[in-house]
Structure 1
Amino acid sequence: MTSAYVVRTGEKFFCSAEDGDIGLAPEVKEAKRFLSREEAEEAANEHADPEYEIVTVDIAER
């Protein structure tokens, strides 16, 4: 398994919006996955309220 990182802000998770920007999704399975914690933190600092959380998720390799 490989780990990835998602950004949670409140009860929602960052996702990729249709216009390529950051949107919000209600479930972690719809969240945008970042390959590094630094990348997730950079996106969170730019787009989230200060109370964001970086969550590690496991993704199965195929």
Structure 2
Amino acid sequence: MTTVYVVKTGMQFLCCAEDGDIGMAPEIEGAKSFFSYEEAEKAASEHADPGFEIVTVSVTVH
């Protein structure tokens, strides 16, 4: 099990857009995963609206 972090802003999540830029995903499954809280916080401060939330997610790696 691995812990990753995703950024929730409003009802959406930061994700990687098709052009490589940061976009928004409506579901957590499409969210960009960050391996450290600090990485997630930096991305959120650059790309998310104020009031964002950093969510901890446990994922199983096969």
TM-score by length of 2: 0.96
CA RMSD of superposed structures (Å): 0.5
Tell me the percent identity: 63
Residue of structure 1 equivalent to 2:36 = 36
Residue of structure 1 equivalent to 2:59 = 59
Residue of structure 2 equivalent to 1:17 = 17
TM superposition outliers: structure 1 runs of 4+ over 6 Å: none
The unaligned stretches of length 5 or more in structure 2 are none
The unaligned stretches of length 5 or more in structure 1 are none
- Tell me by how many angstroms 1:61 deviates: 1.4
- Tell me by how many angstroms 1:27 deviates: 0.5
Tell me how far apart the structure 2 counterparts of residues 61 and 46 of structure 1 sit (CA, whole Å).
29
- Tell me by how many angstroms 1:18 deviates: 0.8
TM-score by length of 1: 0.96
